[in-house]
């Protein structure tokens, strides 16, 4: 990778530049942890207040789609980690394919989420637009679905940004990738894995409660 001025004057070396980029990504991820942390705090408070309502609401979510989407995201993270690992000018083609594969899995996630949203709309489970639930726990179930839509929509927005990053990097890395591209890919990969981690917890909080009772 021939590049003499690959780093800005404030850095002493390429590893110094890369280390700085990595620390910067972790600071960004810390802010994101607190963004989703606030949502999860609200969820935990209301779940503690309305345990039965939240369990009943959770049984109305589509666990098959949720589980499939978790597997899709885990696989896409694996492809990105693989691309970061083998990144070099000799493997530019396969790196591009891995990143495009990961982006396609991301789009599959979004598509399945769309199917799920339309099913919930059909079942009148969308607070603020069309929410009807007969029964004593209607209000707490509505609270659950407010959390569900806000959290999954914020997560889906992060997915769309990540998909854009992966496609852009796949295009850039196709020809003569440099260490700068590797750093950019590594930063985008950290973001993508973080979005995956958020989903792991959203999945456990949204789809799993209340399954063992009816």
> Which residue among 6, 33, 150, 172 contacts other proteins (CB under 8 A)?
33
Express the helix, strand and coil content of the chain in percent, nearest 5 each.
80, 0, 20
Cα 137 from Cα 143, distance rounded (Å): 10
> Which residue among 90, 114, 153, 175 contacts other proteins (CB under 8 A)?
90
> Which residue among 94, 111, 115, 153 contacts other proteins (CB under 8 A)?
94
Cβ–Cβ under 8 Å, residues 144 and 57: yes
Cα 30 from Cα 52, distance rounded (Å): 33
Query: By CB under 8 A, what part of segment 168-197 binds other proteins?
Result: 189-190, 193-194, 196-197
Cβ–Cβ under 8 Å, residues 54 and 140: yes
> Which residue among 1, 13, 15, 19 contacts other proteins (CB under 8 A)?
19
Terminal alpha carbon distance of the chain: 61
Cα 146 from Cα 126, distance rounded (Å): 8
Q: Is 140 near other proteins (CB under 8 A)?
A: no
Cα 99 from Cα 165, distance rounded (Å): 10
Q: Is 37 near other proteins (CB under 8 A)?
A: yes
Residue 5 Cβ, how far from other proteins at the closest point, in Å?
A: 26
Q: By CB under 8 A, which span of 6-14, 72-80, 146-154, 167-175 interacts with other proteins?
A: 72-80
Q: What 3-state DSSP class applies to 74?
A: helix
Instruction: Give the residue with the Cβ less far from other proteins, 92 or 131.
Output: 92
Q: Is 63 near other proteins (CB under 8 A)?
A: yes
Cα 178 from Cα 184, distance rounded (Å): 10
Q: Is 201 near other proteins (CB under 8 A)?
A: yes
Q: Is 82 near other proteins (CB under 8 A)?
A: yes
Cβ–Cβ under 8 Å, residues 173 and 92: yes
Q: Is 118 near other proteins (CB under 8 A)?
A: no
Q: Is 11 near other proteins (CB under 8 A)?
A: no
Cα 76 from Cα 35, distance rounded (Å): 23
Interacting residue ranges for other proteins, rule: CB under 8 A: 19, 22-23, 26-27, 29-34, 37-38, 40-41, 44-45, 48-49, 63, 67, 70-71, 74-75, 77-78, 80-82, 85-86, 88, 90-91, 94, 189-190, 193-194, 196-197, 200-201, 203-204, 207-209, 211-213
């Amino acid at each position: 990778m021939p590049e003499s001025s690959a780093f800005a004057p404030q850095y002493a070396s390429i590893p110094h530049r890369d280390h700085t980029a990595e620390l910067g990504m972790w600071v960004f991820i810390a802010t994101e942890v607190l963004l989703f942390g606030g949502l999860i705090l609200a969820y935990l408070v209301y779940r503690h207040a309305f345990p039965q309502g939240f369990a009943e609401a959770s049984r109305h979510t589509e666990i098959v789609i949720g589980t499939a989407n978790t597997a899709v995201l885990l696989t896409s993270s694996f492809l990105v980690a693989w691309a970061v690992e083998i990144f070099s000018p000799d493997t530019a083609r396969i790196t591009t394919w891995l990143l495009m594969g990961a982006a396609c899995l991301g789009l599959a996630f979004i598509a399945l989420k769309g199917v799920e949203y339309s099913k919930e709309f059909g079942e009148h489970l969308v607070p603020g637009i069309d929410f009807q639930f007969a029964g004593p726990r209607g209000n707490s179930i509505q609270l659950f679905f407010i959390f569900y839509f806000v959290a999954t929509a914020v997560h889906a927005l992060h997915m769309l940004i990540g998909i854009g990053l992966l496609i852009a990097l796949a295009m850039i890395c196709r020809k003569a990738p440099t260490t700068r591209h590797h750093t950019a890919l590594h930063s985008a990969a950290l973001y993508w894995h973080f979005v995956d981690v958020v989903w792991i917890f959203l999945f456990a909080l949204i789809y799993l409660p209340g399954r063992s009772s009816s």
